[in-house]
Amino acid sequence: MILNKYSRIYTQDDSLPASQAMLIGSGLSDADLRKPFVGICSTGFEGNTCNMHLNGLADEVKRGVAAQGLVGLRFNTIGVSDGITNGNAGMRFSLVSREIIADSIEAMAGAHYYDALATVVGCDKNMPGALIAMARLNRPSLMVYGGTIRGGEFKGQQLNIVSCFEAYGKKVNGQISDEDYRGIIHNACPGPGACGGMYTANTMAAAIETLGMSVPASSSLPADSAAKTQECLDTGAYLRRLLELDLKPRDILTREAFENALVVVTVLGGSTNAVLHLIAIAHAAGVHLTMEDFQAVSNRVPVLADLKPSGKYLMEDLSKIGGVPAVQRTLLDHGLLNGDLMTVTGRTLAENLADVQPLGAEQDLLRPLSNPIKADGHIQMLYGNLATKGSVAKISGKEGLRFEGPAIVFNSEEELNQGITEHKIKAGQVVVIRYVGPKGGPGMPEMLKPTSAIMGAGLGDKVALITDGRFSGGTHGFVIGHVCPEAYDGGGLALVQDGDWIVLDATKNTINVQLSDEDLAQRRAAWQRPPLPVRQGVLLKYIRTVSDASHGCITDLFEEDQTGAPYPPAPSVQERGNLTTSNA
């Protein structure tokens, strides 16, 4: 069996001496050149708790790879911290980084013909970026999640990253002292790991584990746990098995696997960012996934997990009672998951879960189906004259299912933040944040700072927010994002004025401003597109290539061919007759 069918193209070809000389010069032996090459990509960087430890985990992966007779070759790509950039202009680069990550991994692994790929990733966009690259390349691959952060504590209050944003709202409204405000900041992030609630990082990690692209429990192990280190060491054995089976991402990333992932995201009360990311991953894998598919799952699957942001527990707490595998086993036993699907272990989901105990009455983190937190899904797709191509609502049920009121309009997040500071937001209003979409932002920034500040000000259940931008997984309240078409493209949000009456209905799945078609047509005729928000660089490239949010904000939408093809194809042994036919 040929396990090095890609790398051998240049390691075993006598006409490519320079390639071999550079590999030998970098420390490889002649024997190494006959082994399969595994690219090990880390998004590790200093200065962010989600990513600060990833290079160390990647070193453990390399040790595990070497123990299996494989050659591990480390490389890095970027990671933009959502927590650090939220609430400032740096957030414009966050979603953009997903594409840079995907493109750079594809470029490295494609250019150097790695036979297999392992990615060690942490923050929100790291994971979908890595999966997009894996699906494009379609070589044996798996993802290692860097793990969740431990919870913080201050004066008896349990803390996480969102506590800081909400503390700001309390500070602005004089509800906490400066000393306590600083105390929360100093204690919210006690060590390495991604944000601890069911925010975007943990949502995507759980979804990807359910897709079958990471090993069991990867998504729920704490970053600093011994089990996470052992997972990294075990990665080599899994990769060798994938190579022996020739089991590739597109064999795993099937339509049914995505349906499983949607079920787990719904049950856990996951982030609305899962809509963007799973649509984008599916596109890369040649699977047609739409907003309607999310709605179909929300129509039949309840929210069961009492996890933050709207609930009580952190991912660390779930890990203590069996982690995501225990949730999967519970859902499998109730017929909500398809257990016959292959995973990176070389076994099916059901086989992975055979010895896992389901969750029962001994805990209250996951409710029974007979007593759900919400009888249907929290992620709802709303359509109307404000979102003719759809929008994504996060409705936990705690904030009600219907909201109507007069609009108060802000043309940027900065304007809204200033409005919060000046106490312009009043109970009963529908807050409109526009020109923050994929193009208008650019980069579709998250609105975590304003939503958290509103929560901190005690208005979380008294106002609604709608935007063509995104909401963080840490956001809660009556919030609707991903409004399509975005305001920059002349969508309905661009036409709203202060005082317009807006009606939001999560039971009828509608989002409308109470204006006639004639009134909207008159406003549209008078509307002028604002100038481009940037003039050069990566953000301008993004504006010119990004699709709308309903298509996952991908930058390689090719309407004539939604299936794509793995990149790049490997020449066969017959096509390159001078190559050897074994690894020996």
Q: Which of the residues are catalytic?
A: 472
- Nearest to 429, CA basis, from 444, 450, 445, 448: 450
232: annotated binding-site residue? no
Phi, psi angles (nearest 5°) of residue 413 = -65, -35
Using an 8 Å Cβ cutoff, are 130 and 105 in contact?
yes
Neighbours of 494 (CB within 10 A): 23
Phi, psi angles (nearest 5°) of residue 70 = -115, 155
394: annotated binding-site residue? no
123: annotated binding-site residue? no
| Helical H segments across 441-498, by residue range | 448-456
Maximum pairwise Cα distance, the chain? 76
The alpha carbon of residue 213 and the mean position of all alpha carbons in its chain are separated, in whole angstroms, by 14
Phi, psi angles (nearest 5°) of residue 245 = -85, -10
82: annotated binding-site residue? yes
Using an 8 Å Cβ cutoff, are 162 and 448 in contact?
yes
Using an 8 Å Cβ cutoff, are 405 and 504 in contact?
no
Q: Looking at residue 482, what DSSP letter applies?
A: E
Using an 8 Å Cβ cutoff, are 77 and 41 in contact?
yes
CA distance 244 to 235: 14
124: annotated binding-site residue? yes
CA distance 414 to 435: 11
- Nearest to 498, CA basis, from 383, 420, 422, 411: 411
- 384, β-bridge pairs: 387
What Cα–Cα distance (Å) separates residue 335 from each residue in 260, 263, 284, 332? 11, 11, 28, 5
Q: Are strands 157-159 and 152-154 parallel, antiparallel or unpaired?
A: antiparallel
H or E element that contains 389: strand 387-394
Binding residues for Mg(2+): 82, 124-125, 446
Q: Which residues are annotated as a binding site?
A: 50, 82, 124-125, 446
- Binding residues for [2Fe-2S] cluster, as ranges, are 50
